Structure 1
Amino acid sequence: MDSKTWVDYISAMVNLYGIVPFEQVANVISSQNKESIAVEEIKAWIQDPFAGGLAKAALQNRFVYEYGGGFFVGEWIMEFEAFDEHWLAQQVEIAPL
């Protein structure tokens, strides 16, 4: 699966939830496509010196950032340092996929 598709999925999920764990990204992409992906593939993709740099730039163009080695978050969460507060609220409000 190409990087653009991953960026599309990640940015859509972050726009919906604000914070998205890598595991949730892998589950959603795998459930909606013929190709299954694992959390390790997302980590390798985002940490790759070349592909990861391009992926981070594409995500940042959509106001999405990698956070804490296991999450994608919206820019406003980074700006207002609201990860803990939003993550706690999100866990109460939505059921895991």
Structure 2
Amino acid sequence: MAVEGVALTQFNDLLWLMAQESGGMVDARNEKLCARGMYQLLPPQYELNPNGEKSFGNAVEECQGGIRYILGRYHTAASARLVWEANHWC
């Protein structure tokens, strides 16, 4: 979070989202959707990781990619959580 300049107030929602997506497992894979990582990025989103697909397996870089996706799309982790709770995805 510090590397991405994200306020600590977003920590609980980011952690909750990660728990839903991967259970916190580094390089988690959903072969059906081709989703990977702690935040289950889809292939078009892999570039959000600092080193693209090569970032998978590195917990910090996977978190950076997930944070970039969440904040880029939803602006806050709380907003992303609301969408996830309503649809079971984010």
Length-normalised TM-score, structure 1: 0.27
Which structure has more strand as a fraction of its residues? 1
Larger Rg: 1
Which structure has more helix as a fraction of its residues? 1
